[in-house]
């Protein structure tokens, strides 16, 4: 399956399960039930009574959360919030988090935090530069045929200290949708 990355925001958070990620996003896990995608798939897995994913403004207010071995994956099919340090800061307390955003206007931008402090912030390098992190070199050989998406996703995953063995948390519908309530600052 090819991943359409234009406008996609994706983040990786090591060591947190879904419920803790939902809490750190400022929501109550009871208000963000695990979706039964077999019974009520809804558009983009939003489930019954979910938001309208074709409403751009409404869709930007939600973040998908899926637990994986070693942490969780957050996606925003039409948003960049999960790539911002302000959103990643509470998620990264006592752990690591990295989020990136594939800007439709060009470039891929993001941030990596460890225990609430920024480790990296800016554009994901497409070619080696003196300031690139060691993780970039470990992901440089991924598939370069799809606008660098797989390499950049692997890079973000590696910066968070995770290793995915299944692409579905990024390509498929998430297990939960959350409307974050991250306090400013």
What mean pLDDT comes out for the span 60-70?
93
**pLDDT-derived band of residue 17, with 50, 70 and 90 as boundaries?**
very high
The DSSP secondary structure of 131-178, one letter per residue, reads T--HHHHHHTTS--SSTTHHHHHHHHHHHTT---S-SHHHHS--SEEE
pLDDT value at position 88?
Answer: 97
pTM: 0.86
Could you read off the pLDDT of 48-64 as tens digits, one per residue? 667 777 788 888 889 99
* Phi and psi, residue 22, nearest 5°: -60, -45
pLDDT value at position 185?
Answer: 46
What mean pLDDT comes out for the span 126-149?
54
pLDDT value at position 126?
Answer: 59
């Amino acid at each position: 399956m090819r991943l359409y990355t234009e406008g996609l925001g994706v983040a990786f958070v090591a060591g947190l399960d879904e419920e803790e990620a939902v809490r750190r996003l400022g929501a109550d896990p009871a208000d963000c039930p695990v979706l039964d995608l077999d019974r009520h798939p809804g558009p983009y897995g939003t489930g019954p009574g979910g938001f309208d994913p074709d409403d751009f403004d409404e869709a930007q207010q939600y973040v998908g959360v899926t637990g994986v071995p070693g942490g969780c994956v957050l996606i925003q099919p039409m948003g960049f919030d999960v790539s911002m340090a302000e959103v990643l800061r509470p998620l990264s307390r006592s752990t690591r988090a990295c989020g990136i955003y594939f800007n439709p206007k060009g470039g891929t931008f993001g941030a990596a935090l460890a225990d609430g402090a920024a480790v990296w912030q800016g554009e994901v390098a497409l070619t080696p530069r003196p300031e690139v992190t060691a993780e970039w070199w470990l992901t440089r050989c991924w598939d370069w045929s799809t606008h660098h998406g797989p390499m950049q996703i692997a890079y973000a995953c590696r910066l968070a200290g995770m290793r995915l063995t299944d692409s579905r948390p990024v390509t498929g519908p998430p297990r939960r949708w959350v409307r974050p309530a991250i306090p400013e600052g």
